[in-house]
Every structure is written in structure tokens, then in C-alpha cells.
Structure 1
Amino acid sequence: MSQQHFVGLDISVKTTAICVVDPGGQVVHRESVESDPQMICESLLALKLDFGRIGLEAGPLSPWLYVGLVDAGLPAICVETRHMHAALAARINKTDRNDALGIAQMMRVGLFRPVHVKTPASQQRRLLLTSRKLLQRKAADIENDLRGQLRNFGLKVGMVGAAGFDARVRKLVADAPAIAAIVIPLLLAREALRTELAKLHKILLDAVRVDPVCRRLMTAPGVGPIVAFTYRACVDNPARFSRSKCVGAHYGLTPRLYQSGETARVGRISRCGDALMRSALYEAALVLLTNSRIPRWSSLKSWGVAVARRRGFQKAVVAVARKLAIVLHRMWRDDTEFCWSSAPAA
């Protein structure tokens, strides 16, 4: 029976440092190749060794390289970044070669925390969400900047919606040609951003309309197309969470705990994990607790209102967001819709 060898990959944009160690921890191969899955696979397969684990750190190129290694039949493992940084921080000299050796040793002794690598479909959903958010943010930046700059000349935009913003600004600068010559290009740029934003928003809505998972998630109060699509993209596979309660902790919605000897402190939420997911759940919880256009009463809202009375509104929103993450996960795993309460809570 051949001995298993372990590999560490330290990935940079251009090159990847490869280090292979035997079961005893002795280095048997070192190499630096182009950061391309085909090049890495060819280098490893040419060694004709039995690989136990191949470790690479989570990063921008990791999903692409991970899929290429797995498709080639190699036992790749993507390692959590903070865990790997803590394990490698004790080394005096930080180089790509040393980091690759450290990763290989982590694979050999089993000292690592694997992370879930999202499927290409999930990565495309996230690309759509982040691109839409980027255009939305840049259009809002132009609006806010114009409001502030025009105020210096006594031109107050006032309370106006996004649809009437362009006409309002043009009216304000109509009698100031010098200012208009500067402002109009910004308005045209804003209009272009809003046009492309509308296209991406339509693509998102069309995707939600034909996705049974998103439609099921939207039966929960406060969950609209954006929140459902975000949850679908971030969770990717509900089976990767052994318990629904783990979802809230994974996305940073549980409080930090510091315990040592007689000291035990419970802090604020950890805010670890995906900020996109966390903000979407927070917005859904806020809508659930405050929006009067949700006519039906639910046990979830009743629970959130009770928390608000005891602990305050802000903590109640976070608590409902965490609870909503758990409920949505259970709905997804069980293929069930949201269960509304039969009557309002007293």
C-alpha cells in the first residue's frame, strides 16, 4: 500500500507555490507554477504520488482552482483564511515557499478548518447581486454629492424621489449656465447607471420568478425577491449546515462570548461571515417588525415584538434576523412554506 502525501498550495495572482510532504513531514517536492488549475494539476499528477489532502487558502482565485483540482480527481480542501493565518503566524520568515510548507503540514496533521466552496451557479447569483448593489450605490453617491454641492450655491434639492431627481436638479440650475455645464454630465452619468441598474434588477426578478426555492422563501413575512435571492446565493446548499441554528452563527448574528476562569462576558454580535447575507436578513427583520403593509400576524413577529419590549428595538431586529435565518433554512430543507400563526398574539 502506497503512502499518502500531502500538498500545500500558496496562491498568488500570478504564481502558486507547491510543497509536497510525506507522512513523516519531510519535503519531497517544491515547485512554483502559474496560478492556473491545469498547470497545477499537471504538476501534481506528474509526480505519480498518492495524495491524501491538498490544501489551499480561501481567496479570490480559490473557487476556480478548487473546481479544477476536484474535476481532475484530486482531493482538494479549501481552508478558512483566519484559521490558516493564525496557524502560519508563528513563522518568523513569511515567504510563499514557507507558507506552502506550512499549509502542507496542516494538511498532514489535520490542523485545518475546511470551508464550503460555492457552486458556479451560486457564484453567478452573487455576481448579479454585487453588480446590482454597486450600480445602486454609485447612483446614490452621485445624488448625495449633487445635493451637497448645490447647497453651497443656495440650491436646495429638497425631498424628491429618485424618479423626479433629474428634473428637479435641472430646474434648479436652469438659471446658472456655469453650474449647469458641470452638473448635467453628472445627471447623464446617473441616468446611465439607473438604466443599467434596471436591467440587472429585471434579470434578478426573472431569476427569482422561475426559482422554486426563492418563491418558497418569499412566503415568509419580510422576505422579498432580493432577500430570497441573496439567501439562495449565500447558503448555496442547505445540507452543509448540520443544524438550522448554525446559520445565524455562521453569518455573524450571534453574540461573542469571552470566558476565562471566573470571567464570562457576552458581547455584541460577531459580524463574521458574509456581510451581504447579514444585511439582507437585517433588512427583512426590520420590514417584518415595522411594515404595516404586512397584514397577517405571525408568531415570528409576536416573538420579535416581545423581545423589543424586554431588550429594545435594535436588539429585537437582530434577534428576528437570526431567527429568520433559522426559519428560512428549515423551510428550504423541509420543502415547506412559512407557517403563519392562526391568531394574533395577545
Structure 2
Amino acid sequence: MKLFIGLDLGVNKAAICVLDDNGGTVLQTIVPSEPAQVIAKLSKLSGEIALIGFEARPLSEWMYGALRDAGYPVFCIETRHTQRFLSTRPNKTDRNDAHGIATMMRVGHFKPVHVKSRESQMVRSLLIGRRQFMSAMLQIENTIRGLLRTQGQKLGRVHRYKFSERVFELCGREPMLLPAIEPLLAARDEMRVQVRKLDNALERASRADLAASPS
């Protein structure tokens, strides 16, 4: 007996529906949204697991990687296409959505989406972190520029490496600004340290990718 499985992944819970070849319900249950919990439930099924599917959501890449590594035939499926299908079904609940996804897998009415490798996911995480730091640093720098302008001190164009030095120089003309600006500079400079760490991690990831690429 072939089994077709739909998962409705929430932040805390995952609804699981298992259908047989004929569309009969073999199992419907809810477990914590943890790969180990889902795999533990799947491992108890009697029959050949033909397909597992779930929508592309924040937890999908994590769940996909764990199920794939465990040897399951898993697909991450396109969200809008899935939602159009599920919208035709009555009584929208997590359990019913899981049943709808299982039905899609059974009849082949789904659109798989590409799931990035864990290495690619890690690089993306590093880039997101770096972008967040750079945005925060720019906000702090603009705040410092604004504070200096209130006292007639214009920072002008200055290289990032010389930014703190130039700010302290201007604060020497208006010492009353220092208590407000010094903590901002300290936060900015610490962010620069963390950005360098992220850059180093990205460089290591790039070298590892080059080493793994076929020559």
C-alpha cells in the first residue's frame, strides 16, 4: 500500500494527514513542529511512503532537509497554487489543510519548488545578518551627523575607517555632545567588529564552495 502524506506546518504544531492509494485516511494527527517528532510518527506507518508534501513556509527548509536526510521522498510545494486548491475545500483547519495537501500529493496536483542546500541557507543567513548590521550602522552614523549639526559641526564626507576619529575631533569643539555621541560610537564600532566576523564566515563559506565544486 502506497501512502501519500500532507503536512501543515505551523510555528509550534504540525498537522499530519496520511492517505492510501484510494484516498482513504490512514492517519490524522498533530505533533510538535520538530523534525524528530514528525519522523517518529512517520516511522510507525505500515506501507510504502510514496510522497510527502508541505507548503513553502519559514520552517519548510528545515523540515525538508531533515526528512530528506532521513530518506523520505519529500517535496516543498508552491504556496499560492496550494492555497488556491485548499480554498475550494470547506472548513479550513490545520487538519483539513493537511488532508488537502495529502490529496494533492496523491493525485499529483502540486508544483514543487526548489529548496536551497543547507550551505546556501547558511550563506543567506550570514548575508541577512550582515545587511542588518550595515543598516543599523548607517542609522547610527546619520544620528551622530544630526547631533553634530545641531551644534553647527558638519562631519562632511569621511571614510568609515576614519569616522570615529573625525567625530571625536568635532566633539572636542563641543564637549557637551560627547555623553550622547560616545555610546553611539561604541555601538557602531562594535557592529563593525561583528561585520568583520560575518565577512570572515562568508569568505570561509566561499572557499568551501569552491573546493567542493568540480574542477
Within a 5 Å distance, the mapping from 1:1-346 to structure 2 comes to 2=1, 4-209=2-207, 211-212=209-210
Distance (whole Å) between structure 1 residues aligned to residue 141 and residue 84 of structure 2: 43
Distance (whole Å) between structure 2 residues aligned to residue 209 and residue 25 of structure 1: 49
Q: Return the letter of the residue paired with 1:44.
A: L
Distance (whole Å) between structure 2 residues aligned to residue 92 and residue 186 of structure 1: 55
Change (3 A) 1:163 1:49: same
Contact 2:123 2:205 (8 Å CA) reproduced = no
- Report the TM-score, using the length of structure 1 for normalisation: 0.56
Q: Larger relative contact order (C-alpha < 8 A, sep ≥ 6)?
A: 2
Mean alpha-carbon deviation: is it higher for 41-50 or for 103-112? 41-50
Distance (whole Å) between structure 1 residues aligned to residue 24 and residue 34 of structure 2: 26
How much identity, in percent, do the aligned residues show? Answer: 44
Mean alpha-carbon deviation: is it higher for 87-96 or for 43-52? 87-96
Distance (whole Å) between structure 1 residues aligned to residue 92 and residue 61 of structure 2: 24
Q: Return the letter of the residue paired with 1:132.
A: R
Q: Deviations over 1:153-208 (max 9, x none)?
A: 33321111111211222222224344211111000000000012122213323443
Contact 2:151 2:174 (8 Å CA) reproduced = no
3-state SS of the aligned residue for 1:163?
helix
Contact 2:65 2:118 (8 Å CA) reproduced = no
Q: Deviations over 1:5-41 (max 9, x none)?
A: 2111011121110111223333232100111212112
Q: Deviations over 1:285-323 (max 9, x none)?
A: xxxxxxxxxxxxxxxxxxxxxxxxxxxxxxxxxxxxxxx
Shift of 1:92: 4.9
Q: Which runs of 5+ in 1 are unaligned?
A: 215-331, 336-346
Change (3 A) 1:47 1:211: closer
Q: Deviations over 1:49-84 (max 9, x none)?
A: 222211111222222222222233322111122322
Change (3 A) 1:35 1:185: same
Alignment size in residue pairs: 215
Shift of 1:119: 2.1
3-state SS of the aligned residue for 2:92?
coil
CA RMSD in angstroms, aligned pairs only: 2.4
Distance (whole Å) between structure 2 residues aligned to residue 196 and residue 163 of structure 1: 15
